[in-house]
Every structure is written in C-alpha cells, then in structure tokens.
Amino acid sequence: MTTLTQEPARTTAGRPRENSLAGTGKLVRFNLRRDRIKLPAWLFGMFLFVFYYGAALPQLYQTEEDLQVVTEFTQGAMGAIIAGPGFGLDDPTIESVIAGVYGLYFLLLAALMNILLVSRHTRVEEQTGRAELIRANVVGRHAPVTAALIIAVVANVLLALLVAAAMAAADLDTSDALLFGAGIGAVGLVWAGVTVLTVQVSAFSRAGSGLAGAALGAAYVIRAAGDTITEGGSLLSWFSPLAWSQQTRPYADGRWWPLLLSVAFAAVTAAIGYVLSTRRDVGAGLVAPRRGSPTAPAWLRSPLSFAFRLQRAGLIGWGAALVVAAAVYGGITGPIVDAFEDLPETMIDVMGGDPSRLLDGYVSTMALSFAIVLAVFVILGLLGARGEETKGRAEPVLATATSRSAWLGGHIAVIAAGVAVLLAVSGLVLGIATAVSVGDAAYVWDTTAAHLVYVPALLVLLGIAVLLFGFVPGAVGATWAVFGFATIIGFFGPIMDLPQWVHNLSPIEHVARLPLEEISWTPLVILTVVAAGLIGLGLYGFGRRDLDTK
C-alpha cells in the first residue's frame, strides 16, 4: 500500500490518472495507532464475554435437566423474539445454549463495535475538521474510507478468531467454534459496510451512526418477526443480516454458506457508500441538516420549562425502552413462573423467599429491577445538569434573571417528576401484560403500586447527587457508588450474610416489596423527608459556591 503513495502512475499520453487510494497504508497505520486502546479493549472484552459464558454456564447448569429448563424459556414466540431460531436447543448442550440463546447479544455487540469504529474514522474525522488536514496532503479521495474498512475487516477477522479461541479456552467443544465466531464477525462486517453508507448521508456523526443503529434495530425486528412465524425462521427472517449468522446453525448442523450473503451484502453497501462519497464535498452530507423554528414556542419561558425541553428527548427514549421491556417481561410472566417450580433455594431467596408465592416474588423483583434501572436515569439526569454547568451553557442562563435555585430546581423537578411518571408507566404496562399473561386483573394495580413505592427511595438518591452538586460538584459521579451498593444489596442482599445496619444504608432497602409484603407508609414518609432535606441542602450549597466555568 505504501508504495502507492510514492509514485503517481504516469501514462505516456494525456493526463496521468489520479490514484484515489494514495496514502491508504499510512492512514491504516495512523488509525491503528489512534485505536491502540479502544480496538483491543473491544476485542478483548468480547473474548472475555464469550469466555465468561463458556466458563460460567457449566457451573450453573450441571445436569441435562437444568439445561432443559433454560431452553424451555427460549421456546415459542418469546424465545424467537429474545433469542432467535434456537437451533440445537431441542437437545441442548452448553455450546448450543451459548450459540442459540446468548449468541444474538454477541451479534449485536459486534454490530455496535463496527458502527462506532467506522463512524469514528470517517464522519467524526470530517465533522471535527481533522479530515481536511489529512485530505490536503497526498491522500486520495477514497483513502480514508478504505483505511477504515481495512481496519474493520482485520478487526472482524480477529473477532471471529477470538470468539473461537474463547470457546476453546473455556474447554468447550470446538467443532463449530470457528463457525460461531465467523457468524459474529460477519455481522460486524455487514455493519461496517452499512455504516460506510450511512455516514455519507448527514454531516453529523450522530445522525450517521444513528441511521446504522436504526438499521440494526430494523434487522432485529424483521428477524424476530420472521422467527416467530415459523420455528427455525421463515423467509422473512432471511431479509435480516442477523438471521444469516444465526442460520449457520453452529453446534446444531453447522453450515457456512449463509455467510456468503453477509460478505456480499457488506461489499454492496460499502460500494454504494464509495459512490455516494464522490458525490459530495468533504465535510458535507448528502442531505442538508434539518432546520428548526426561528422562534421559541410560547411555553418555553421559565427555568422549569427549559429544563424539561433539555430532558425531553431523554424522557421519550427512556419511556419507549421501558414500555417495550415491561411489555416483554410482563408477557412472559406465565411461562417463567412455571419454569421457576424447581428453583434452587438461593434463587427463591432472591425472588422474595416464599416458594408458594413465586409470581408475587417475580413481580416484586421486576419492580426492584425497574427501580434500579431508573436510578441510572436519576444519576444521568443530574450529570446532565452538571454538564450544562461545566460546558458553559448554564452561565448565560444564570446571567439572566434566573436564580441558582430556580435553575437547579428546574432540573431536579423534571428528574423527580420524570422518575415518578416512568415508574408509573413501567408498572402499569408490566401490570397489564402480567394480568393478561396469568389471567388475573388484580395484577394491574398491584404491579403499578409495587413500582410507585420506589419513588421516595429514588428521590433520596437524587438528593445525594444534589447534595454533592451543591458542595463537591466534581464528585457528583460518586453517586454511582451509592447506586452500585444499592443494586448489590437489592438483588443479592437476601443471600449475603451482612449485618442489618449495612442493609439499612441502602435507601431502596427500606421499601416494602409489593405485592409480596404489605405496604408500610412510615419508611416512605421518612425517605421523602430525607430526600427533601438533602435536596434543600444541596440547593443551599449551590447558591453559595462559585459557578464552574470553562
């Protein structure tokens, strides 16, 4: 490759033909150097992920019967949606469970790795203006894209080999390990090609990777629908690149030819990307950026409505994801609870400790899970406000007639109301889906209530974050430690031998697990008062400290 950069091809007559790939080799080396941490981290992480399953599952499922229980989960429509066609699960082995049940998640991760990889070496470079520096040199028109693709191909080959190596390292059957790995690498390759195409569309990398992500979502939905129609996948499934890798049937009756489709598809999408890239200027997109309103809507006029405007997109995204998750987890309640019949004792403890009320235990565990997921929303929300401050966007707002407490209070109010609404919505959807699944309408209200009781505990977490914001703003991230502690105590506290006062340190621990337990109001009132106190103190601290400026 490097020799190409030295000697422009000369022809005896006419203008010498330009070498549009000049400099590709140097760019590959340059990009590999810039990726020296990120790319190995991704590849090694995927290796560990596969190895972890390979090593952990044999411990978890020691007998044939244990494996049968797992695969019962993944049969029928729900299995088709969350796992795939599930080849080889009729007669399950550890290997076929990894490929058939967990394999889909490796495919999604491989796609994600490639979307980010191609995007950061193409559109991100153009958007930041660095590509201009590069392209002003002896670098051909197609060199940056080609360099990114070469790295993607190498990375996906390595990924395939590492997945196979992980299976071997976990001491599993290696007969189809390379096929399993190749399927994962093939999905990576497809999304490298797709991303080369999508980054041409908009001038902004977020739109480019967003489009590639949307294609991934569409591929998932098409595959899920196709696999639901017919066991083992229908014609519809074959319209999804994810299905091609799954249809190689590793550890069932393995076959390589579906991967030809993946390679061809990657080549075609990348080729379209190349053609499109010659029809636009450096730094520009094929589509002009969308323009917005020249004036602000009338409701956007207070610190509160502004905080809502800033968090609106996040609230919608969280809401949509939670509704889908709640519908799925509610919908599978019936079969899951049946499968729980012969759970080991420790699992029963985690699920509330009462083997006769496993359904209630499941609902209360789901409520706890949603509450913990929403703790992430709370912390990210306040980190968002902190970002407004450190990125210099709070400064012009606080230079208007907006007080510190109104500005921060607006953000706090939106987060608090958001958490309450999101908990209510997840609870209601989970409740309805559960009620339908088990045929008991009482679960609609019970499940909603089971979620809503976590509002005060999450407000305490918000209060801790606000307190840090007010007094040690650099340490708002430390709220993650509280979150981690509450998560571990919440899920594994029942089976850990810890003194009661340690349990009491977690705000979530004081909430009654409905519908398993009776609601107790006193802790909820106390948690609310504590939250209000923490928030008040944090606001006071923020009113007295310097604003952090750029």
- We find the least distance from the C-beta atom of residue 183 to another protein, in angstroms, to be 38
Would you give the distance in Å from CA 531 to the centre of its chain? 29
Backbone angles phi, psi at 203, to 5 degrees: -80, -5
- We find the least distance from the C-beta atom of residue 535 to another protein, in angstroms, to be 20
Q: Is the dihedral of CA 343, 346, 351, 357 positive or negative?
A: positive
Q: Check binding of 401 to another protein (CB under 8 A).
A: yes
Q: Check binding of 544 to another protein (CB under 8 A).
A: yes
- Give dist(CA 86, CA 67) in Å, integer: 13
Among 392, 474, 477, 533, binds another protein (CB under 8 A): 392
To the nearest 10°, report the CA torsion of 75, 79, 80, 84: -100
Q: Check binding of 102 to another protein (CB under 8 A).
A: no
Q: Check binding of 130 to another protein (CB under 8 A).
A: no
Q: Check binding of 14 to another protein (CB under 8 A).
A: no
Given the complex with another protein, which of 38 and 206 has the nearer CB atom? Answer: 206
Given the complex with another protein, which of 203 and 351 has the nearer CB atom? Answer: 203
Would you give the distance in Å from CA 319 to the centre of its chain? 15
Would you give the distance in Å from CA 483 to the centre of its chain? 18
Given the complex with another protein, which of 13 and 399 has the nearer CB atom? Answer: 399
- Give dist(CA 308, CA 508) in Å, integer: 26
Among 402, 413, 517, 540, binds another protein (CB under 8 A): 402
Please give the full DSSP string across 278-319, using - where no structure is assigned.
TTS-TT--SSPPPP--SS--TT--SHHHHHHHHHHHHHHHHH
- Give dist(CA 236, CA 220) in Å, integer: 12
x/- mask, another protein, residues 137-156, rule CB under 8 A, reads: --------------------
Among residues 27, 204, 26, 7, the alpha carbon closest in space to that of 123 is found at: 204
Q: Where are the strands (E) in 190-269, listed by range?
A: none
Given the complex with another protein, which of 10 and 550 has the nearer CB atom? Answer: 550
Specify the stretch interacting with another protein by CB under 8 A; choose among 78-86, 232-240, 458-466, 542-550.
542-550
Among 268, 391, 417, 495, binds another protein (CB under 8 A): 391
Specify the stretch interacting with another protein by CB under 8 A; choose among 216-224, 225-233, 399-407, 437-445.
399-407
Q: Check binding of 547 to another protein (CB under 8 A).
A: yes
Q: Check binding of 112 to another protein (CB under 8 A).
A: no
Among 11, 65, 396, 497, binds another protein (CB under 8 A): 396
Among 278, 403, 504, 520, binds another protein (CB under 8 A): 403
Widest pairwise Cα distance in the chain:
92
Q: Check binding of 400 to another protein (CB under 8 A).
A: yes
- We find the least distance from the C-beta atom of residue 425 to another protein, in angstroms, to be 23
Specify the stretch interacting with another protein by CB under 8 A; choose among 158-166, 221-229, 230-238, 303-311.
303-311
**CB 276 within 8 Å of CB 197:** yes
Tokens of 377: 């929303």
Q: Check binding of 303 to another protein (CB under 8 A).
A: yes
Q: Give the count of residues interacting with another protein (CB under 8 A).
A: 36
Among residues 548, 371, 396, the alpha carbon closest in space to that of 475 is found at: 548
Helices (H), 439-478: 442-452, 455-471
Tokens of 216: 């991934």
Q: Check binding of 517 to another protein (CB under 8 A).
A: no
Q: Check binding of 306 to another protein (CB under 8 A).
A: yes
The helix/strand/coil state of 117 is helix
- We find the least distance from the C-beta atom of residue 296 to another protein, in angstroms, to be 4
Q: Check binding of 9 to another protein (CB under 8 A).
A: no
Residues 335-352, buried b or exposed e (16+ Cβ, 10 A)? bbbebbeebeeeebbbbb
- Give dist(CA 385, CA 55) in Å, integer: 42
- We find the least distance from the C-beta atom of residue 289 to another protein, in angstroms, to be 5
∠ CA 402-408-411, nearest 5°, is: 115
In the region spanning residues 260 to 299, those forming contacts with another protein, defined by CB under 8 A, are 289-296
Q: Check binding of 235 to another protein (CB under 8 A).
A: no
- We find the least distance from the C-beta atom of residue 395 to another protein, in angstroms, to be 6
Residues that bind another protein (CB under 8 A): 203-204, 289-296, 300-303, 306, 309-310, 313, 391-393, 395-403, 544-547, 549-550
